[in-house]
Structure 1
Amino acid sequence: MECFSLPPEIWLHIHRLAAPPSLLMTAHSEEFRFLSSQNPFDAFSSQDLLSFVLVSRSWNNLARELLYENIAVPLQAGRCDTLRSALEHGAADLVRSIRLTANRADQNTAILALCPRVQVVCQPDADRMTRLFSQSPAISLPTFEFLKHVYWTESIMTSELLRLLLAAAPNIEHLFLQPPSYLGLPEEDALTLPALPHLRRLEFPGFIEHPGVQLLDLNQLTRLNCASRLEFPPLPALETLNLTGPHQGIDLSLLFARCPRLRELTYDVWSSVIAPSPNHPPHAALDELRLHSSVTADVYNWRPIKEHFNIFVSPMFPHVRRLVLEGAWTEIVHDRRFTPFRDGLYARGCRLEFPEGVVLGRT
């Protein structure tokens, strides 16, 4: 590997340890004092040799940190035993993220139990060719005070470990759950989650009313991705909401009332919406509104397009700074029937654009 391919922060770290003002070099200067003698090394100063020793040690420490900072639980039992041995001899404190196996709950639990300082845990999905092992050892997990992010494929094989992990992680801020593509989902009562009072971001493919999330403390939640019937509990801190898939009867007045700090909203163009009522207090301006088309937009079916954009240009709808059109919208925005909506949005100070940043000007 050429030296120039290394990230600059590694060179800065090495230079910091090897340079004369380094506290580390000063602390160890007595240990590596160069004793002058009649040999070919007389041409080198003690400072040069000291720097060389420190750089060598720094390389070794960096290699060890890079090796164990992000680990994956091996599928092979022998390699897993080797990893466990290294973790038991001090490497566990270096682990910041763990990618678990899709089929070995026993190995996943054993490795997690050795890494209390982990910050990110990922449970991948299993495919049809994965050989499954359902046994889970009776190992108690430590408290994961530093664990903030969990990406988890929920299945009958992984739900128990997820429950144990979240119960031992009081400071979770980001929880991403997705259904399995091959294995079955657990029973609804097995999906019950702890309160997680520090949760800031939740990505959940099911409905927010699902029994599995009823006990979550959502008062601090700032970002939510879900497929919901919009029977929301009050979400006082929510700023970003992404509704996946089409829905029927999105009551915008109810939505804005339950989410008073909402600033970014994303939903599907094929969803039906109920316009804000003048009897409800107006909502604050939206920084961004994303209208997604999950299928190719039909230029001959203008009913949902008219329904949405008539609401957007209405004075009852909050002011929107950016309206982003995701999907196949090119033919629609250049259709003459779209011109009144385009002009109406710009009259309200809304910038119309595509996800790649192409801004649509006035007609």
Structure 2
Amino acid sequence: MSTSSSSQLPAELWLYIQALATADYSPVVLANAEWFQYQPPVDPFSQIRHFWRDARSFSLVNTHWNALATDLLYSCVSIDGNEQHFDRLLEILRRGSEYTVANRVRAIRLSSRRFDWNRTILALCSASVQVVLLPDVERFPDLRAVVMNVPKEPLEGAGVFAALTHIFWTETQTSAGLLGRLLSAAPNLRGMYLTDSGTALERGTDPIANLPSALPSLRNLTLGTLDRLSLQSILAVDCFRRITTLTCHPNWLTLLPTLPALHTLRLFGSRTTIDFRVLFEICPVVEEISLDVWNRFVRPDPQTMKPGHELQLIRLHSAVTVVRDWSNIQEFFGMLVAPGFPVVQRVVLHNAWYRVIHDLNFGPVREMLSGSPSEVRIEFPEGSLL
């Protein structure tokens, strides 16, 4: 492609085309995407190498595209433990009048160790960053030597993060205090994923520090593997009455406050009990539920159910291909068609259901469904009916 032909369109349009071509790998797009997997997504940077690869390939087309692709390339940056890499990144972000390159950064993957570097990059990009990820610490003890203490004011001089809409955060001992200050400076935050470190030695022994009293704009919350202190910290924040989408383990249901605006509830975890009495009590207007069939189920109390309450969708997951105990499946579908359970418009079977439905032991379930006055539509993700 020649420079003259590529410059016939406005630069903004070419940049938009390049962004569309890399959308499948973009952390900004992945952070906003709807996911139906059994486990919740934890890393919008999971495809970042593909994103950078494609952005670099655009830069090789011609001089005009090189400038545009550079903007795309530095829209998503990662802070690792390499000092030479950090110095180079910092130099590039400071280029231009009023840090032009830094103001184009949309997503940042923070370092799990170098919080001095994190503070510097966050301060530079505070006006533009939309997605922030703090991953879990690397499992190499020798890296503890380069941990930089979090200062008392880790975001001093950063101002307000007006564009920040999504945070994916792993709380550790070394990150203590930073999340609260970041949340306090993000008035437009819409989505947050929060979990504790998977490394026992890195988990904090205190509640999450400095959390704001309220998160008025938060609508989508995912609670990963949290200890009781961390969970109590987030439960004390005034945000749950405005949450519309919640992802959590079934065990948290009994600890949650009432969720009057919740429309979508995604439960991950198996071999436990899902109490629909509690579920419908704290989620009075829920319309969509996602859960694993390999749980025990407690039926709701018809006398406490809201009259006319309907569920638009239940996403039913199964990761088991060899079934020896059919009681979970029979218990769930029996509850589904029982008097007093809300009318369900659709049930979508995710994962390894094809082997289950063709097993002879599934026959009684088919008969139970066909003999029920309920007209629930049971289908697969691609749309084919059971």
After TM superposition, the score normalised by the length of structure 1 is 0.76
Structure-2 change in CA distance of 1:301 and 1:110 (3 Å): same
CA contact (8 A) 1:97 1:119 kept: yes
Spell out the pairing of 1:150-229 with structure 2 (5 A cutoff): 150-182=167-199, 184-190=202-208, 193-194=211-212, 195-206=214-225, 210-216=231-237, 217-229=239-251
Counterpart amino acid of residue 351 in structure 1 = R
- Structure 2, unaligned runs of 5 or more: 15-61
2:293 maps to amino acid: V
Q: Which residue of 1 aligns with 2:312?
A: 287
CA distance in 1 between counterparts of 2:107 and 2:384 reads 37
Q: Cα–Cα, structure 1 residues 283 and 203, in superposed 2: closer, same or farther, change >3 Å?
A: farther
Tell me the CA shift for residue 13 of structure 1.
3.2
User: Which residue of the partner structure matches residue 90 of structure 2?
Assistant: 84
**TM norm structure 2:** 0.72
Pairing of 1:20-169 with structure 2 (within 5 A): 59=65, 61-89=67-95, 90=99, 91-117=101-127, 118-129=129-140, 131-132=143-144, 133-135=146-148, 136-137=150-151, 139=154, 140=156, 141-169=158-186
Which of structures 1 and 2 has the bigger CA Rg?
A: 1
Within 1, Cα distance between the matches of 2:244 and 2:217?
11
Q: Which residue of 2 aligns with 1:349?
A: 375
Aligned position for 2:52: none
- Cα-Cα RMSD: 3.1
Partner of 2:28: none
Runs of 4+ in structure 1 deviating by more than 6 angstroms, as ranges, are none
Percent of counterpart pairs with the same letter?
Answer: 37
Larger deviation, residues 198-207 vs 67-76: 67-76
- Aligned residue-pair number: 317
Q: CA offset at residue 173 of structure 1?
A: 0.7
Please give the per-residue CA displacement for 1:19-52, whole angstroms capped at 9, x wherever unaligned: xxxxxxxxxxxxxxxxxxxxxxxxxxxxxxxxxx
For 1:109, what is the secondary structure of its paired residue? helix
Partner amino acid, structure 1, of 2:345: R
CA offset at residue 258 of structure 1? 1.6
**Structure 1 residues without counterparts, runs of 5 or longer:** 18-55
Distance in 2 of aligned mates of 1:14 and 1:146: 23
C-alpha change, 1:16 and 1:193, in structure 2 (3 Å) is: closer
Please show how residues 301-312 of structure 1 align to structure 2 within 5 Å: 301-312=325-336
Return the alpha-carbon distance in structure 2 between the equivalents of residues 77 and 352 of structure 1. Answer: 54
| Per-residue deviation, 1:359 | 2.4
With a CA cutoff of 8 Å and minimum separation of 6, indicate the structure with the bigger relative contact order.
Answer: 2
CA-CA distance at 1:105 after TM superposition? 1.3
Q: Residues 57 and 248 of structure 1: is their aligned pair in 2 closer, same or farther, counting only changes over 3 Å?
A: closer
**In 1, are the aligned partners of 2:250 and 2:272 still within 8 Å (CA)?**
no
Match of 2:10 in 1: 13
The question of whether the paired residues in 1 share the 8 Å contact of 2:250 and 2:274 is answered with: no
1:271 Cα deviation from its structure 2 partner = 1.8
CA distance in 2, matches of 1:249, 1:57: 60
Residue in 2 that maps onto 1:245: 269
Residues 215-256 of structure 1 deviation map (CA, whole Å, 9 limit, x = unaligned): 231122111111142223111111111111136443313311
Distance 1:201 1:291, change over 3 A: same
